Amino acid sequence: MGTLEGTRVLLGVSGGIAAYKAADLVRRLRDAGAEVRVVMTAGARQFVTPATFQALSGHPVRSDLWDPAAEAAMGHIELARWAEIVLVAPASANTLARLAHGLADDLLSTLCLATSAPLMVAPAMNQQMWAHPATQANVATLGARGVVLLGPDSGGQACGEFGAGRLVEPPAIVERLAALRAPGVLAGRVVVVSAGPTFEDVDPVRFIGNRSSGRMGFAIAAAAAAAGAEVRLVAGPVHLPTPARVARRDVRSAREMHAAVLAAVAGADAYVGAAAVADFRPAVAAPDKIKKTDGAPAPTLLLERTEDILAAVAALPARPFCVGFAAETGDVEAYARGKLQRKRVDLVCANRVGAPGEGFDADDNALLVLGPDGFRLDLGRAPKAVLATRLVELIAQRLPAPRAAGARA
C-alpha cells in the first residue's frame, strides 16, 4: 500500500520551465497510491500538453474556468471539494502572486480560493525572480496564511544561472505530501505563541513601541497549526491576518500580553515567546495629551520595568516547554546564551536585528537555536515561513512526552 493510498490530490501546474517535471510528479503520486486530477494554467499549456497529464493521471485535464462541458461533468466547486490536498507544482512567480492576493481570474486560482483542503506550493523560477522582494513578500503572505511552502532548491538553472529557484524534485514532493497526510508532529499538543510588538502608552495619543511586525511569530503559529497543534496566538498590535486554525487574542501593552499569555499557557505543552515585548514603560501614562507650552522645558519620562513574560512562564510549577527569542544588534550568541541560563528556558532562538533584509519587519530571518545542554543549531537565513517550519520540527523533537491529564498547570 502506497503512502498516499486513496488520497485525492489536485495538482495545479503553472507556467514555468519545470512544468515538464510535473509529468513525473503525477506518475510518482499515482505510484504512492494517490488519485490525481490536474489543472493547468494557460501558461503551463505553453510548456506541456494536457494530453501528457491526461494519459498519466487517467482523468481529463482542466484549464478553463469557462468550459461548459467540463463544468457539467465536474464543476469547479465540486473539484475544489473533491480535493484532499491542493498541490501547485511548479508554482510560477505569477501564480504565487495571484494566490497571495486572492485573485480568482482563472480555474486554478479560483479552485485555490474555493477549497478548504490544505494548500502546498512548490515554487520554481529564475533565481532573480525568486529573490525579488515582491515574490518574497508573496511567499511570506502565503506562509502566514498556513500555506505549506516546499522549496525551492538551489543549484544550476535552466536559464544558465545558479541559485535558489529550482523545483524540489518529485520524489521529495511526494515525501512531503505523505508527511502532511500523516498525523502532524504536534498532533494533540497545545502551543502558545506570542508575537508582535507591545505599545506602552505615554498619553492618549503617544506610545513607546518597536519595529517588530509579528511576522516571525505568526509564521510559527501557522507552522505549529499545520503540524497539528492546537495553537493559541497572543498578538501585539500588528497588521497580519490570522493563520488558518489558530485562535488569536489581540493585546496592546506588555501588561496585557503578560496576563493573556499566563492565561493561555494553562494546560499548554509549549510556549514560544516570539513577541518583542517592551522592557520599559512610562511609570505613569498621562490621562490627557501632554502639551508643549512655550518656554516650558520638555517633559521627562520616568520609565519602569515591564513584566518578564518568558521568565514568568518558565517559573510556573508545571511549566510548558519554553522557547524564547533574543533579538540583538551585536554579540547575539553570547547574549542569547546568557538569556538561556538566566531565564531557565528550553531553547533560545537568537536573531540579529537591524541588518538589511533580516530580523524586524523583514521577509527573511536568520536563526541560531541554542539549548541548555550545549545544543547549538544554525537554521541559517531563509524566509520566515521556512524557518518557522524548521523550528516547529525541532520543538516537536525536543518536547517531553505529553503529561497525564490533570497534571498540567
Residues that bind ligand FMN (CB under 6 A): 14-18, 41, 43-44, 92-95, 124-125, 129
Closer residue to ligand FMN in complex, CB, 161/378: 161
Query: How far apart are alpha carbons 306 and 360 in whole angstroms?
Result: 21
CB 270 within 8 A of CB 320: yes
Which is closer to ligand FMN, CB of 121 or CB of 124?
124
Contact partners, residue 246, CB within 8 Å, separation at least 6? 146, 221, 222, 225, 231, 232, 233
Q: Give the C-alpha separation, 52 to 33, whole Å.
A: 19
Adjacent-strand bridge partners of 163: 155
3-state DSSP of 177-231: HHHHHCCCCCCCCEEEEEECECCEECCCCCEECCCCCCHHHHHHHHHHHHCCCEE
Is the CB of 103 or the CB of 312 nearer to ligand FMN?
A: 103
The nearer residue to ligand FMN, 39 or 224, going by C-beta atoms, is 39
Is-contact 4 29, C-beta < 8 A?
yes
Q: For residue 386, give the H/E element and its range.
A: helix 384-398
Rounded Cα gap, residues 150 and 315, in angstroms? 38
Shortest Å distance, C-beta 17 to ligand FMN: 4
Q: Which three cell numbers, joined as nine digits, stand for 165?
A: 529557484
**Which residue, 16 or 359, is less far from ligand FMN as judged by CB?**
16
**Nearest approach, Cβ of residue 350 and ligand FMN (Å):** 34
Choice between 93 and 262, CB closer to ligand FMN: 93
User: Cβ(117)–Cβ(178) under 8 Å?
Assistant: no
Asked whether the bond before 356 is cis by omega within 30 degrees of 0, the reply is no
Angle at 184 between CA 183 and CA 190, to 5 degrees: 120
Nearest to 155 by CA among 171, 169, 175, 135: 169
Cβ count near 358 (within 10 Å): 15
**Least separation, in Å, of the C-beta of 221 and ligand FMN?**
28
Q: How far is the CB of 382 from ligand FMN (least distance, A)?
A: 19
- Apex 320 CA angle, 215 and 382, nearest 5: 30
Shortest reach from residue 126's CB to ligand FMN, in Å: 6
Catalytic residue among 112, 159, 322, 349: 159
Number of neighbours of residue 331 by Cβ within 10 angstroms: 11
Please say which residue, 43 or 60, places its beta carbon nearer to ligand FMN: 43
- The yes-or-no answer on residue 112 being catalytic is no
- Please, what is the minimum distance in Å from the beta carbon of residue 95 to ligand FMN? 4
131-135 long-range contacts (CB < 8 A, ≥24 apart) are: 131/163, 131/164, 132/93, 133/363, 134/97, 135/93, 135/96, 135/97
Residue of this chain nearest to ligand FMN (CB atom): 43
CB of 142 to ligand FMN, least distance (A): 14
Q: Beta strand pairing status for 190-195 and 230-235?
A: parallel
CB 143 to ligand FMN: min, Å: 18
Q: Which lies closer to ligand FMN via its Cβ, residue 125 or residue 144?
A: 125
- Neighbouring CB atoms inside 10 A of 167's CB total 26
Catalytic residues: 159
